[in-house]
Structure 1
Amino acid sequence: MREAFLKGRWGLYFFLGLLLVLGGCQPPLKYVVNEGLVFGTSYRMVYEGREDHHLAIKEVLNDFNSSLSTYDSLSVISRINNNDSTVRADAYIKQLLRTGRRITHETDGAFDMTVGPLVNAWGFGFQNRSDISDELIDRLLLLVGMDQVWLEGERVLKKQPGVMLDGAAIAKGYGVDVVADFLAQKGITNYLVEIGGEVVTAGINSRGIAWRIGIDKPVDDTTASQREFQMIIEVSGRALATSGNYRNFYMEDGKKYAHTIDPRTGYPVEHSLLSASIIAPSCMEADAYATACMVMGLEASKDLINRLPDVEACFIYHTDVGDEVFLTEGFETMVVE
């Protein structure tokens, strides 16, 4: 009896020891940093995990790019724009259209993905700049409007062949969400995903505090070589996107032409709002709302944000005495510097 007891006890010790050995073979948790280029800009992912997922992340980004890049002639969105009748909408296109249509409605048309022909005409898209005239703008405006495009099963249908989808003001944020979802599916709870300044965060950083992100001062600089922060905020579990007219613009005859085109008028915006930084549940939404605010201007943007639940904003705008900052109450609580 005693012998059987001893055998059972030693068996238990062996089993516990085996668990310890196997557990000890796991790589330790550490913060991994992945960096690279995608969508014509840079990316940076920082996450706590036991392994480096960079190769898998690249595959996710390549798959996303092959769907929504207007600079890839073989992408799904390019084939739709080129009226390829054989192309079928994938999950990315379907979600893009659903979210884009909703935000177009919420912003009274200030955000509209069919603005592509106008963006191209002004030289900020994926085609060469046109000779601008009022007549040209009037013709192109006939191609703009989310009522011009819709899903029918797996097909994207358009009222006119010239209608084009331009996901530039929403797809980058969407790509950030896609990578963040990938990391979350891997069981990772602490991460920061940033693509071209659009960010999604979760959990804490390697110092054990919420992630800290800088909001740029809106200084005109197409090279982004003179970056200076307006403020630093702490964010966790939220998405952040900033839109402004201080990076992408050109000067002609002493006049500044900004890349933000108003889909309702067909012309680059001219108002006091210099940049809009939006906190939202998803980066896709934050990206689109930030663009809409840059179209709408300061006062209309304040009204929009007041109507949107769980959305906060930082607006930097120009006055006769210099640049001023407007913060929603929720955004103000995040400022640390």
Structure 2
Amino acid sequence: MSKKPYLLLFLYLLTGITGCSLPSGFVFLTGGALGTTYAITFKKPSGSAPHFVQQVEKTIAGSFEQINNSLSIYNYHSLISGINNNTSQETDSLFRTVFNKAVEIAACTDGAFDISAAPFFDLWGFGLEKKASVTPQTLEEIRQFTGMDKFLLEGTKLLKKDPRSSLSMNAIAKGFACDFIANELQALGITDLLVEIGGEVMCRGLNPHKQPWKIGIDSPVDGNVHPGKDIYVTLRLTDKGLATSGNYRNYYEENGEKFAHIINPKTGTPVNHNLLSATVVAEDCMTADAYATAFMVMGLEATIAFLKDHPELGAYLIYGQEQTFRTYATDNILIDL
């Protein structure tokens, strides 16, 4: 599985605007949270109070605090850290929502998406630990205590069959955060909004030009670390979640070999195939986030076959063939030509 601190998205509409009012009562807010950046655009409801924006800012900050205290492996006092360190079994409603979705998608993808693969990420240096010596023996040992069947949610407690097992929500938490904050803002009466966190997007309603939101997907060129600098295609989106996963921003080279941060949970090794990026559109961003990661594990052919059996998902895939980029897109996404 993968996670990416800065993903493949660039919001054309928002370029160069920070913390200011936009036409037609729209407001744009940016900041840092969950180890990445966020950009949130919304239209103030008609007749909203003078301090409405401050109320929104407080809601956003409170939401990030809840998510960080529940799902962040980098917060040593979070619920997930307590479970990983065997100091607690307690969960909250946020944790259970994400965990249950992870179980669902793990089953749907035959384990291509698996939040219990955290020990493999540590082994390869993409998790909390520095890269260790990787041998067939270490991979086999870790396989003994990974897999979603090693965890059981009973009420509010998460039980582990093996104390060495651990979880990472990195491949789904930012998508969930987009959904959570969008729902919180909608509860304040906001109907037109876009929430982007670390490249994941949840949007509702229309943009300031009364059109679907316009989102660009970067070219999957190795070392392309500046979102928006090299746009490959633009999609239009409303009332949907969108997430992209790729293997060209978070990787390292060792002895002339490239190791990307997308790990196959079954083998415990980085994937090596021609699918370079997978963008997924779904009803919610948490689902899109998880499937984008799963598709990068599954590869091009398996992903296309999966999409044909799951018309509820939209996708835009970029892959390499004969030293050039090629694409596959489902019919249910809107490409801005």
1:306 is displaced (CA, Å) by 1.8
Which structure has the larger Rg?
A: 1
Residue 65 of structure 2 corresponds to 62
Residue 128 of structure 2 corresponds to 126
Which deviates the most, 28-37 or 270-279?
28-37
Matched, 1:335 2:330: no
Q: Is the 8 A contact 1:120 1:129 kept in 2?
A: yes
Residue 177 of structure 2 corresponds to 175
**Partner Cα distance (2:224, 2:62) in 1:** 30
Residue 33 of structure 1 corresponds to 28
Residue 45 of structure 1 corresponds to 40
Q: Secondary structure at the match of 1:114?
A: helix
**Partner Cα distance (2:257, 2:311) in 1:** 38
Q: Deviations over 1:144-199 (max 9, x none)?
A: 11000011121110010011011111111001100010111111110000001100
**Partner Cα distance (1:99, 1:216) in 2:** 28
Aligned residue runs from structure 1 range 1-337, under 5 A: 30-49=25-44, 50=48, 51-52=52-53, 53-85=56-88, 87-221=89-223, 223-224=225-226, 227-331=229-333, 334-337=334-337
**Partner Cα distance (2:59, 2:285) in 1:** 21
Equivalent pairs, count = 307
Gaps of 5+ in 2: 1-22
Compute the RMSD of aligned alpha carbons: 1.4
1:309 is displaced (CA, Å) by 3.7
Q: Deviations over 1:213-266 (max 9, x none)?
A: 001111112643783111111100011000000111001111110000000111
Could you list the structure 1 runs, at least 4 aligned residues long, displaced by more than 4 angstroms after superposition.
Answer: none
**Partner Cα distance (1:276, 1:309) in 2:** 16
Q: Is the 8 A contact 1:224 1:247 kept in 2?
A: no
Q: Secondary structure at the match of 2:272?
A: coil
Higher relative contact order (CA 8 A, sep 6+): 2
1:32 is displaced (CA, Å) by 1.0
Q: 1:47 to 1:62 in 2, by over 3 A?
A: same
Normalised to the residue count of structure 1, the TM-score between the two structures is 0.89
Q: Secondary structure at the match of 2:327?
A: strand
Q: Is the 8 A contact 1:222 1:249 kept in 2?
A: no
Structure with the largest fraction of helix: 1
Identity of aligned residues (%): 39
**Partner Cα distance (2:204, 2:133) in 1:** 46
**Partner Cα distance (2:124, 2:323) in 1:** 31
What letter is aligned with 1:264?
Answer: K
Normalised to the residue count of structure 2, the TM-score between the two structures is 0.89
Q: Is the 8 A contact 1:222 1:248 kept in 2?
A: no
